[in-house]
Structure 1
Amino acid sequence: MKKVLFGLVFLLSQVSFAEDEVKKLPPLDPGYMGVHGMVLVTHGSSIYASHMPLYNKPHNVQLLYKLDNNDLAVLQTVRDSQLITIKPKPFNLQRLMRGEKMVIEADLYAGHFERDGMLVYSNISLSFDKQLYVRTFDDIKPSSTKQEYDIVSLRKNYKFYIHRIQQAPSFDHILGVDLEAGCLSRFNTSSAVPKETELQYKFINCGTIKPLYFETEDFQAADSH
């Protein structure tokens, strides 16, 4: 009986501790409220959402999440399209920055939702399940021909290579890489904003590569917003 009571007290104390941890989260910064466009990419049967950053708040964050998706039609749409973006309903990006799980309502577009993309699904629910990468622009470096990529490991040997965006002019770039033998995450390019073909050539020794996203227009001026 004593063991049962001790176990119950211990369990209740853990629940109370967990509640205290939740209560200790700082209040959300309202400055991160907005419409946060994202690009969707796939690996296998999984969908990933990458925030489409800009230099200015509330969009000055590189962020990658894995979605919890059971909709086969959405998976096939993302997998079979060259570019899929979403325009979510306004929400506070800081919730994803600190790793929360949340459901976001969004419109899904074939192409860029701000550049004549075609609406495919309206007001669908997307479940953001696991944060895989987050980087704010607090430490952003000056524009340079020296490029650096962060690496996000997925299952088996597959990895996402994510370019660390620099001050303008720069670019956003995501690659899927399988069997990364001889793969470099730091290298020089011919200019601060090289062509995508030059970047792909830099990864030629990485095994199988899959270009996922490349964006330059949003990073040509420091006041892009």
Structure 2
Amino acid sequence: KKLGFDWAKNLYHLSYGMVDLPSGKMKSREGTVVDADDLIADMATTAKSISEELGKLEGYTEEEKQELYKTIGLGALKYYILKVDPKKRILFDPKESIDFQGNTGPFIQYTYARIQSILRKSDVDITIKLDVNEVSLHEKERELIKQLQLFPETVQQAAAQHSPALIANYTYDLVKAFNSFYQNVSILGADTEKEIVFRVQLSNTVAKTIKNAFSLLGIDVPERM
């Protein structure tokens, strides 16, 4: 405001609690403060190691690999911090944050990439208008649809409460619902063409919601992993 910028009145400073490491509190006097640039570089290196170990790099150019490591590493770091309520103290565990299982950025990114793989394999026109009443919904489909319907309300609550954590944890719940659906229902091998179309469209909607949610958190999602 003092500099005369009109948009300053629309800004809100969201202050976070202290961030600790597994080794303990960061203290400048004791030289235990971690430089952000070093941490980001370490996260990318860890992402590289895990990706190579899991064999998820087939068909990637070296440039694409480096971009993927950065996307996963930064996503892990941002998500791990943002999923915690801003008022609470954060214990940041680099190894735990980049796990491909559980409430982590890479797990959500991997689910998004999995959906993109399904969409590439299908020959379904996702713009086809389908009467949902013509499809017999599986219990897991109903649960997933209910979760999708919560997104607009969650965004509004997050804005009102200045809490990105609400969006982060909503996205994790959505991903859990999708993976449960994925494990219990055949998408491309459904009994009827209408069921295939509906399930592909539903998967596409989930992917869009994940991407939108992560965009609000400043996190990128890779098209493949």
TM > 0.5: no
TM-score, length-scaled by structure 1: 0.24
**Which one has more relative contact order, counting CA pairs under 8 Å at least 6 apart?**
2
The structure in which a higher percent of residues are strand is 1
TM-score, length-scaled by structure 2: 0.24
The structure in which a higher percent of residues are helix is 2
